[in-house]
Amino acid sequence: MEQGQWRKARRLVREARRVIALTGAGISAESGVPTFRDAGGLWRNYRPEELATPEALARDPRTVLEWYAWRRSALAECRPNEGHRALARFFLRRGEAGLVTQNVDGLHTRAALEEAGEDPPEAALPLELHGAVGRDRCEFCEARWPAEPLGDAIPRCSACGGLRRPDVVLFGETLDAGLLDRARRLAERADLCLVVGTSAVVYPAAALPLATREAGGLIMEVNVRRTALTDVAAAALRGEAGTILPALLDPQPAVKAR
Ligand code: OAD
């Protein structure tokens, strides 16, 4: 890793008054959660139009619900890694909201719970732009429930009879407007946007770092490889998020002068 990039990255974090972090599937890769577009990623092996669109859900709800039930059971084995934990500690220390994720795996929330050791303050909890796979919602009304194992019958909302479906954003669906608005405001007010483990190709999330930049702030990237954002990043740290984030964000022990 180039020393100059590290020095610059540490300085940018130290000097930033407001930080937003945008994370993607790469931060959970070291927890054993598959990414989408890397070798072995979900969208390399499955067709999203058959599993992750409202049309697929209407046409063949069982197949879609079974796929999400499979993802949920795989996630039950996964734990937050040092990358999630370092971000949780960072936002707990700062007491200021700024963690925005595209991930639906709930690992940022679990890391915040574990690091806070009690009910974590709002500021340490992520804005989950694409929803949460551990939650269901009604296709029609506002009802939400913790996800339950899939039985023989297609699950229905007890209030209105709508399909009970995962509370995640499918391709072609719009994001929760309130959440997106909060994320945009965080991005516009931040002087540093830390972009971790995302290919930054799915909008509107991918526009958040650009919003920081357009408002005069800087982008810093943490990724195992180059992305669409690398060329506009003020610093780019190459490597695994679980190694880089603690080294970047945790307070470093003071070096004694000899
Ligand atoms: P992608 O699979 O597109 O990108 C994962 C990124 O993580 C790549 O840039 C990898 O290089 C990087 N990466 C992999 N392992 C890493 C590690 N250990 N440390 C750091 N970086 C690593 O996933 P996303 O960008 O999150 O949307 O995908 C965005 C959205 O597309 C997802 O939220 C999902 C998907 O369709 C919905 O489901 C709505």
pLDDT digits (tens, 9 = 90+) for 3-18: 889 999 999 999 999 9
Query: What pLDDT is attached to residue 258?
Result: 59
- Residue 48: the pLDDT is 85
- This prediction's pTM: 0.95
At residue 178, the pLDDT reads 97
> CATH classification of 48-76+139-168 is 3.40.50.720, yes or no?
no
CATH class of 3-33+80-130+175-249: alpha beta
Domain ranges of the chain: 3-33+80-130+175-249, 48-76+139-168
Atom 26 of ligand 1, residue of closest alpha carbon: 24
| Each residue's pLDDT tens digit, 88-138 | 999 999 999 899 999 999 999 999 999 998 789 998 999 999 999 999 999
The verdict on whether 130 is a catalytic residue reads yes
Q: What pLDDT is stored for residue 256 in this prediction?
A: 65
State both tokens at 120. Answer: 């974590």
Give the full edge-to-edge strand order of the sheet including 144-146.
144-146, 131-138, 164-168
Q: Is 209 in the pocket of ligand 1 (CB under 6 A)?
A: no
Burial class (CB in 10 A: 0-12, 13-18, 19+), 121: middle
Distance 203 CA to ligand 1 centre (A): 13
Q: Is any ligand 1 atom within 6 A of the Cβ of residue 35? A: yes
User: What residue ranges of the chain have pLDDT lower than 70?
Assistant: 1, 255-258
